[in-house]
């Protein structure tokens, strides 16, 4: 029987507040309309949510895995898909080349090996991934032009550059964050002059409003749609829209336990939050809570349900097969988290 309210759900269950989601998408689409935003599907891994982003005017999308690109293409969502990641897996690259016949697919490259792998698989479009300070992927800025020449020599179309200032997303102080982002993007824009192409792609939710004068022409952001407690620390104009619903399964004199644990939450950014409670710790299938000192919450009983707020939305989404769309406690729809895996 289809559940009608959140009280009918087995837990842990992933909830998305539909009204909050729409407000977040609208806020971002007004700030970065149409192609100014290339929404990142890694943050939700859900074609239904991507379809809603498409409805708000975004026709281009960023993906983190070949699975995301292929799933988006097969669902017919997006006119231009970017794999903002390196891969040399021939089977995955040839699968990308197959869907590229109907949907434009561009992949990131940062070495001769990634160029050769793309060319062998029959892909055509690439962005040169430039390291702008995050110790992860990307070619050194001064080597970007030579790498672009190598890609063209291999028969590839170089559409431009991308970079990710992920190391700056949580810098304290807006002015300091803006200054460091500008310095980071100066490296990317200088590299773009030697690379050529029309795209300069960067950014994320934490720097969404710091790029007006940096020179980039498309923003990659994803967490803004659903948010988490990590990004909430920045005071961004986006609301918390995703929760993991848990059931209280045990109560003692000093603490209580809900059935939401490490296997239902992204924990790399710390503990989740629960309104009215202090989170003591999380284990595989449990989160142990104590009533907060200033809490007015009382009379919690075994069987009651609580909403757990994840600290990191991206891995949390990937741990669930489905999300329940809710308005208050009413269930509106169920969406499959269909882009999980690689």
pLDDT in tens, 312-326: 999 999 999 999 999
| Residue range(s) occupied by CATH 3.20.20.10 in the chain | 18-227
Per-residue pLDDT tens over the stretch 28-37: 999 999 999 9
Residue 10 confidence (pLDDT) above 90: yes
Distance from the first to the final alpha carbon of the chain: 32
Residue 297 confidence (pLDDT) above 70: no
* Per-residue confidence (pLDDT) for residue 299, from 0 to 100: 81
- The burial class, CB within 10 Å (0-12 / 13-18 / 19+), for 30 is exposed
Per-residue pLDDT tens over the stretch 71-128: 999 999 999 999 999 999 999 999 999 999 999 999 999 999 999 999 999 999 999 9
Entry pTM: 0.96
pLDDT class for 26, splitting at 50, 70, 90? very high
For the domain spanning 18-227, the CATH number is 3.20.20.10
What is the overall mean pLDDT for the chain? 97
- The CATH number of 6-14+237-336 is which of 3.30.930.10, 3.40.50.300, 3.30.43.10, 2.40.37.20? 2.40.37.20
* Per-residue confidence (pLDDT) for residue 298, from 0 to 100: 63
Give percent of the chain with pLDDT exceeding 70: 99
Which residues are CB-contacts of 154 (< 8 A; sequence separation ≥ 6)?
115, 116, 118, 119
| Residue range(s) occupied by CATH 2.40.37.20 in the chain | 6-14+237-336
pLDDT class for 230, splitting at 50, 70, 90? very high
Mean pLDDT to the nearest integer, 167-195:
97
Task: Scan for tokens 């006119």, then name that residue.
Answer: 79
């Amino acid at each position: 029987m289809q559940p009608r309210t959140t009280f009918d759900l087995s837990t842990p269950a992933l909830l998305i507040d539909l009204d909050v989601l729409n407000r977040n998408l609208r806020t971002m689409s007004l700030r970065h309309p149409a192609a100014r935003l290339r929404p990142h599907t890694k943050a939700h891994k859900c074609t239904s949510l991507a379809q809603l982003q498409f409805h708000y005017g975004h026709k281009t999308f960023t993906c983190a895995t070949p699975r995301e690109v292929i799933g988006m293409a097969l669902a017919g969502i997006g006119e231009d898909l970017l794999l903002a990641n390196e891969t040399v897996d021939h089977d995955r690259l040839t699968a990308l080349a197959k869907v590229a016949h109907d949907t434009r697919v561009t992949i990131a490259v940062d070495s001769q090996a990634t160029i050769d792998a793309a060319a062998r698989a029959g892909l055509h479009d690439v962005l040169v991934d430039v390291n702008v300070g995050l110790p992860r992927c990307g070619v050194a800025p001064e080597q970007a032009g030579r790498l672009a020449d190598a890609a063209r020599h291999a028969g590839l179309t170089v559409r431009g550059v991308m970079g990710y200032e992920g190391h700056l997303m949580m810098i304290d102080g807006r002015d300091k964050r803006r200054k460091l982002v500008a310095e980071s993007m100066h490296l990317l824009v200088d590299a773009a002059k030697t690379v050529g192409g029309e795209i300069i792609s960067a950014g994320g939710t934490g720097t969404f409003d710091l790029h007006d004068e940096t020179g980039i022409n498309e923003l990659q952001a994803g967490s803004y749609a659903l948010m988490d407690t990590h990004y909430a620390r920045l005071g961004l104009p986006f609301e918390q829209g995703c929760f993991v619903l848990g059931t209280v399964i045990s109560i003692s004199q000093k603490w209580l336990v809900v059935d939401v644990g490490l296997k239902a939450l992204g924990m790399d950014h710390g503990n989740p939050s629960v309104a009215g409670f202090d989170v003591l710790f999380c284990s595989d299938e449990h989160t142990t809570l104590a009533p907060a000192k200033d809490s007015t919450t009382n009379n919690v009983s075994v069987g009651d349900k609580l909403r757990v707020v994840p600290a990191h939305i991206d891995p949390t989404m990937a741990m669930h097969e489905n999300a329940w769309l809710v308005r208050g406690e009413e269930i509106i729809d169920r969406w499959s988290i269909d882009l999980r895996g690689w």
